[in-house]
Every structure is written in C-alpha cells, then in structure tokens.
A and B are shown apart, each in its own frame.
Chain A
Amino acid sequence: MSRSRLLPLTGIIAALAAWQIAFVLRPSSLIPGPIAVAQGIGELAVRGLLVKYVVASLFRVTWGYLVALVIAIPLGLALGMMRIGEMALNPILQILRPISPLAWIPIAILWFGVGDVSAIFLIFLASLLPMTVATMNAVHNIDPVHLAAARNFGIPLRARMRDVLIPAILPQLIVAMRITLGVAWLVVVAAEMIAVNSGLGFLIVDARNAGNRYDLVIAGMVLIGLVGIVLDLLMRRLERLDSVRWGYASE
C-alpha cells in the first residue's frame, strides 16, 4: 500500500484507538466508546433508518442546493458582466451574507411551516449568496486578454458565453460549488433538528430526547462526517476535468 494511503489510515486508526483508551480509562465521562457507536450504526442499519435518514438529508440538500445553483450562477454572471447591476445589488448581498442561514429558521417556519420545504428553503438560502458572489467574482477575475481576444474575433454573444465566459470561470465555479455544498450539508443537519422528523439532524436530536441514546447521537455525527467527505470527494473529481485543470495552481 502506498504511503499516501497508509498514513491517513494510520491517523484514523490512532484516533479510534485513543478514543477507545479514553473510554476505558474514564467510563464515567458518559460518552460511549467507538465499539458502542459502531453497534449503534449497525442498529440503525438493521432498523432501516440508516439509508432512510441519509437519503432524507441528501434529498433536502439536493433540492435546496440545485435550485440555488440554477438561480445563483446566471445571476452572478449577469452581475459580473454589468457594473450597474453589481453596484446596485452588491451592498445588499454583502449585508445578507454574514447572517447565518440558521437565523432564518423562524421565518422559514412562518412561511413554509414545519416540514421539508422549510429545510430546503434554509439550504437554498445558505447556498444562494455564496454562489452568487463567487460567480460574480469569477467573472471579474477573467483575464482581460481573453475577453479582448473574443471581442477581436467578433464572436456572437451565445458563442462568447459558451466558449469564453463559462469556461473561463468554470475552475473557480467548481471550487465554489464544492465549498457551498459543504455549507449546505452543515445547514441541513441544523435545519433537521428543528423543522422535520427524519434525516441525520433529526436522528441526533431524537436519540437524545428519546432515552439519552448517546451511542446513536455519535453514530449520527459520524454518518454526517462520512457523507460530507463523500460529497466533497465527488465534487473534487470535477476539478480533474481536462478543460478546467488549467485553473488550479498545482498544474
């Protein structure tokens, strides 16, 4: 096995071992050990909740995130290309940006009630602003030489979008999409703690409320981490596409 695989594996095993040792030394700390947590995950799988909750969380993330992308990317492109629009809207974007999506929970429930739509709305909000701002900035970062060349060749607008603007911002866009998906995943868990009765966030709150099952609480946390890293790895694969690799420094 290569070093690059062996070392991460060693790190994980060492962390698990440290956890187990701490658990044996101080059982009074009330935190279950890794074996109990693994059993908890097994129990969730047997009860059919593991797949159900992961799918429920992914379902909400997918919808909130995709709707946000569909709005944010064209909006960011338009703002990036039109100075007037940017000057008018940028202050609002900047004021909204530091407001945590979780601050919208009361309003989400007020508008959409307790349920999926509220959770999806929160994910949508969490994804919308970062993607819009990132797309706008990516347009600003296009090398002016490339825009000048496109102008020189008299390319019609549609082809200019397809062959110059979009590919020029794609590397930055993919990074922004990856980071935003990470944020969306953070938010879905929080949203599920309040607004719905399925999903990994719900699992954590429910396991505590229904009998202090801290093994299931930590099982939920572990699953959140694992799904998160899988999402991140999938998005990273996009960065290896031939037509975007130029945009990353390692090349």
Chain B
Amino acid sequence: MKVQFSDVSMRFGAMEVLQHVTLGAEEGEFLCILGPSGCGKSTLLNIAGGFLAPSSGSVTIDGEPVTAPDRRRIFVFQERGVFPWLTVEGNIGFGLFDMSAGDRQARVSQYIDLVGLRGFEKSYPRELSGGMKQRVEVARALAVNPDVLFLDEPFGALDSITRLQMRSELLRIWRAERKTVLFVTHDIEESVQLADRVVVMSARPGKIRRVVDIDIPHPRDLSSRRYIELRDLIFGEIGLAHQV
C-alpha cells in the first residue's frame, strides 16, 4: 500500500472526531473520502499530510510512519492557498527553491502549460478567477513532483460549471502524472465522477461505513446506468432518499 491508515482515532478534548479508521490507498490510485460536514474527513487528510498527529493509530506512506509534512506529498487547499503576493510564475515555482534558475524556469513553464495558464505567467492571483487560482495551486503542488496529492475539497468554492471543468482537468492531469490522490469531498456526484474508490464516512465520530469501487472506465458517462446505480447506492448509504 502507498498510503496506509491503521486504526486511526482522533479526539479534540472531549470530542471524538475519528474512530478506528483503517484504510489503504494503492500507488497511483484516486481515492475519494466522502462524508457529511464535520465527519472528520479533513482531519483524516491532515493526519496523512503530517499536519496533525492522531490520538492513536498511525499512518504510513511507503511503509514509513508520517510524522511531519513532507514535500513528497503535497496538500492542496481551496484556492485561497495560493500566495496572493506572488505572480502565477512565483507561485508555481515556490517549492523549487533548490533548483538552478534555468531548471526552475523550465519546470514552471512546463506546468503553466499543463494547467493551461500560458499568458498569465506575470498575473497576480487577484487578477484571476477562482478556477484559475485553483489551477495555480494544483500546478504549484505538481511542480515539486510529489508522489501523493492530498486535496481538501479543492473545488468547494467554485461555481458548479467551473467545478465540472476542473474535475475533468484534474482527471486529465492525474492520467498524465499518475500520482496517488486522496481527495476529500462532501459532494457525492463529484466522488463518483472522479474516484477509483469512494470511502463513505459516517457523521461524527467519523467511521468508515463502506468503500465503494467505481468500476466505470474514464471518460465517464454521467447518464450511464452504472453511474446512476453507484451514485444512488452512495446516496442510500449516506441516508438520503435522493429526492428534492
């Protein structure tokens, strides 16, 4: 297993946030962690990122216990994670401090192309749309060539059209770069569109209710019978009747 959670529990004071989570993600896998707000899914991701230590249990990556953040595994926040005082170039090159100027320039340029921001190299984040800022953040993360990406509701602040576009962008990049992705979301459709497997969590204290394999090849047809089946299965698992 690339990323392995072993019996991870977390409490903040008297509040129990996570209970006995055991979960593995394979190399190159796209794993979605899905659950209602406050179920501890972000906490789980922060533990894997090394930003929080679990109350009990452990997380290992490539068999090594995670004790601190590491540049081999990058955390992508919502778009506010970009540095507003740096240009697009400056942001994407941020983690490349140990490279020569020339290599750095080449790498930045490569990722500007990958996320489609050619022409905006010198722009500041305040001049960009939410979706573009999110691309900058993804490019900044990929530029340091990590082997795991943690995405914490990365598209949560975007409008629904941009969100759809960003999902297919992310899938395209994921297929090109083959990183292991742990993607936290509370959006059921999003999880079924993106993931190889969806980990459905319960409300607090967060436990794994079920892990659903999404056996639909990419690109996924959002009106196919199997897509709707899996989506409804998860709706049912979360306890929603799927009616408005």
Contact = CB atoms under 8 A, between A and B. Distances in A.
B84 interface: yes
Contact of B144 (A148, A153, A243, A245): A153
A34 interface: no
Interface string A124-162: 000000000000000000010110110111111001000
> What class of interface size applies to chain A in its complex with B?
20 to 34
> What class of interface size applies to chain B in its complex with A?
20 to 34
A156 B97 contact: yes
A145 B81 contact: yes
Looking at B70, B77, B144, the one whose CB has the most chain A CB atoms below 10 A away is B77
A143 B84 CA distance: 11
A159 B97 contact: yes
B126 interface: yes
Given A156-B97, A159-B97, A167-B85, A145 B80 contact: yes
A149 B126 contact: no
A146 B69 contact: no
Contact of B75 (A148, A156, A246): A148
A218 to B, nearest CB: 45
Interface in B44-101: 49, 51, 69-71, 74-75, 77, 80-81, 83-86, 94-95, 97
A156 to B, nearest CB: 7
Interface string A213-251: 000000000000000000000000000001111110001
Contact of B126 (A152, A163, A251): A251
B94 A163 contact: yes
A131 B94 CA distance: 29
Nearest to A167: B85
Looking at B49, B77, B85, B86, the one whose CB has the most chain A CB atoms below 10 A away is B85
A168 B126 CA distance: 14
Interface of B: 49, 51, 69-71, 74-75, 77, 80-81, 83-86, 94-95, 97, 124-126, 144
Interface of A: 143, 145-146, 148-149, 151-156, 159, 163-164, 167-168, 170, 242-247, 251
